[in-house]
A and B are shown apart, each in its own frame.
Chain A
Amino acid sequence: MADSAEDIKKAFRLYILVGIVLFAGTLATVAVATVPWLDVGKHGFDTADLVLGLLIAATKASLVAAIFMHLNHEKPWVYWLIGMGAFFGIAMAALIFLAKFSPIHYDQFNDGGQGATTAVISD
């Protein structure tokens, strides 16, 4: 932990730098989504845009966690607590994904949706 006055004064510069990087990352997120010549993959929103957007978000989140939340120099207990939360969070999401293979599941997961069956054209 940055305890000494000297360490904290140095940390000010680091916080400002990280803040600038976060601002830049936000602009980058919007740019890759809205600027046409930065559109990767197919035209419009596709998997490449999804991966790129989430990668930028994950990088920003890591910086916030490591620098602002001091996770880069925390005690092991904190890492255990976060790890527990992350483990159960991933397990929860995984369980829901695994429900796809249950006999009782939504058809939409397989074929992109059945939807309502009323007539498309009324006459």
Chain B
Amino acid sequence: MEIPYVVTPRKDTGLFNSKIAIWLFLASEVMLFGGLFSGYVFLRIGADYPWPERTLPVLPGLLNTFILIASSVTVVFAWASLKLRKWVQFQIFMAITVICALVFMGFKSLEYYVKFHHQAARLVDYTMVEGHIDHEKEAGHGEGHDEHDASLVTDAKGEEIEMNVQRFQPETISFDLLRVYEPWVEDMLAEASAAGASITLADEINLNREGESDSAKQFAAGEALSLELLKKIAKAQTSNHAFNQSQRTEYLREAWDLKWDDVKSNHLLGEAAFVAAFPAGSELEPAERAKAFKRWKAGMRANFATDVTIESVKVSGGEAVPVLLDGKKFAEIERPEATAAVFKVAPGAEPLNLRFKNHDVLTDYRDGLTSISLRDGTTLAGKQGNSEMVYHYVDGIDFQYLVMQAEKKGIEPLVAIENSWIIKNNPEIAEIWEMHQQGVRLLADELSKDGREPTHKDRYRMGWQEIAYYTRLIDEGKGVEDVEIDPSAKTPPREKMVMTEQFMGPDYSRHHFPHLAIPRAEVAMDSKFTPKWNTYYAIYFTVTGLHGLHVIGGAIVLGYYLLFGRKMYLSNPEWLANRVEVGGLFWHFVDLVWIFAFPIFYLM
């Protein structure tokens, strides 16, 4: 069957089918991206923290804009070539369009990669620290690492992991049998083995009924921790639990039947019982009274068997647990249960210092904790180990949020900063801050010639270019008096950024950045530069990510026409031209969204 109006326009609309369809679709896309950009506006207006203005490197976004504009030109050239029946020319322009799409996604992927590997932390006093994390080399923990890959160390299994860890020296470990996450058990076993420690079952677990002696349900104290052991205990537990639950249902049914017989034989749901329970009912109108009686009866039916109670089941050598009806023993739940298995830790030559990723520990950190819980329900009791968050390179220090909080409390910003943890505890950073204040003074003098003044960001945020400049002066033996600014740049003093640094971030072999160990108790929240970090990154990744998906989708469609359009070109070239035109319209819309997204996220 021929589909009508794929080439010939309809008389009423003057358009072929897919033209109307694509514009309808684009109208819905306007709603989609319009909603997201509106969301950006409100997140920015309503932000209760300093919005990260102009913190993204511009070059990747600029190149991506050029690439998309070029692809918009080539896609319309491709359509025009088809209209002129120039097949090879169409292929060339369409191939360039698809290549542009792939290059765009390549740059975007690079941008995302750099952000996902860049660490940020907000301290309790609202200082923001940015950089790359590692573990304190001097403390002797962790293995050696590659100087150029500062965020990785090797763990006890010889695998490279990124370090943002809490350490804990357990005396006992309690595993939730049903939720335990096996890779973490394997990690613990590897670290115990490396440290010469042993982890064994603290007490016997016997899930046999009285009189039973199934060895599959009995686990001796002192048995070594292993995944197989945990699985065996879990299997015995789930079998007992399933039996107990079905027993519980049966007993509840029996109890219900007994009570219902009692209710019927004593007329407990009759008129007399209603009047006794609800004397005011006699004053109601007959219709109201009937409704009240009906409601009372339904309530009584629902609640008459609530005095059946079952004690919590416990592990205790197979002791049966009573089911009580009206306070009297009615039946017994027979099989013991154990939802957790407790192990004790015998250290080797040194205490076992287990390592957990910060975000895997549920317990809010504070110094002196004697037990922690993990996300899989495992709890450890013992002593905290050294859990400092260590930055191998600090390439950003932002006091804007701290200043914002200080100003709300009527505290002078510079006083608040001088009293911040990072300035009081790190002399190198304190010296960098002194130099930055001199740089800001010089900038203020320069800007005052035009009647302007430095922004909050100029005053209170030191990005990597600023820090690299100050550390270079320090390394050259210079001081505050040697700080200079470029008067034409109208910025605080900075190192120049080379092109690769626009994409990959600072080159750590060229610049010197401070090393910083932050006690875990000082860290309020930490994250990579991901949607979790703040609402700016949340909306940035949402919009650019969704836009990227549109780029991929458009590239797939255009690539299909490029690779498989020859057959249609030979049979019905005008139809192919119309399809390419419609695909091109989608592509132009994708370009339109980026035309707004680039200045909004990168330049504002």
Contact = CB atoms under 8 A, between A and B. Distances in A.
Contacts of B46: 106, 108-109, 113
Interface residues of B, number: 76
Contact of A30 (B23, B402, B453, B603): B603
B48 A64 contact: no
Given A64-B595, A122-B125, A9 B15 contact: no
B490 A39 contact: yes
Interface in A1-48: 2-3, 5, 8-9, 11-12, 15-16, 18-19, 22-23, 26, 29-30, 33-34, 36-37, 39, 42-45
Nearest to B408: A115
B226 interface: no
A50 B41 CA distance: 12
B27 A15 contact: no
Contacts of B27: 81-82, 84-85, 88
Contacts, number: 183
A11 B584 CA distance: 15
Given A15-B73, A45-B54, A81-B24, A5 B84 contact: yes
A29 B31 contact: no
B406 A89 contact: no
Interface in A51-87: 53-54, 56-57, 60-61, 64-65, 68-69, 75, 77-78, 81-82, 84-86
Interface of A: 2-3, 5, 8-9, 11-12, 15-16, 18-19, 22-23, 26, 29-30, 33-34, 36-37, 39, 42-45, 49-50, 53-54, 56-57, 60-61, 64-65, 68-69, 75, 77-78, 81-82, 84-86, 88-90, 92-93, 96, 106, 108-109, 113-116, 118, 120-123
Interface of B: 13-15, 19-20, 23-24, 26-28, 30-31, 34-35, 38, 41-42, 45-49, 53-54, 58, 62, 65-66, 69-70, 72-73, 76-77, 80, 83-84, 124-126, 402, 404-406, 408-409, 411, 416, 419-421, 447, 450, 452-455, 457-458, 488-491, 584-585, 588-589, 591-592, 595-596, 598-600, 603-604
30 contacts: A2-B80, A11-B80, A15-B77, A15-B80, A19-B69, A19-B70, A23-B66, A26-B65, A26-B69, A34-B603, A44-B457, A45-B53, A57-B595, A61-B592, A64-B588, A68-B72, A75-B14, A77-B13, A77-B23, A81-B20, A93-B41, A108-B47, A108-B48, A109-B46, A113-B49, A115-B405, A120-B125, A120-B126, A120-B405, A121-B411
Given A8-B83, A78-B20, A120-B402, 7 more contacts: A5-B84, A9-B84, A19-B72, A77-B23, A113-B404, A120-B125, A120-B406
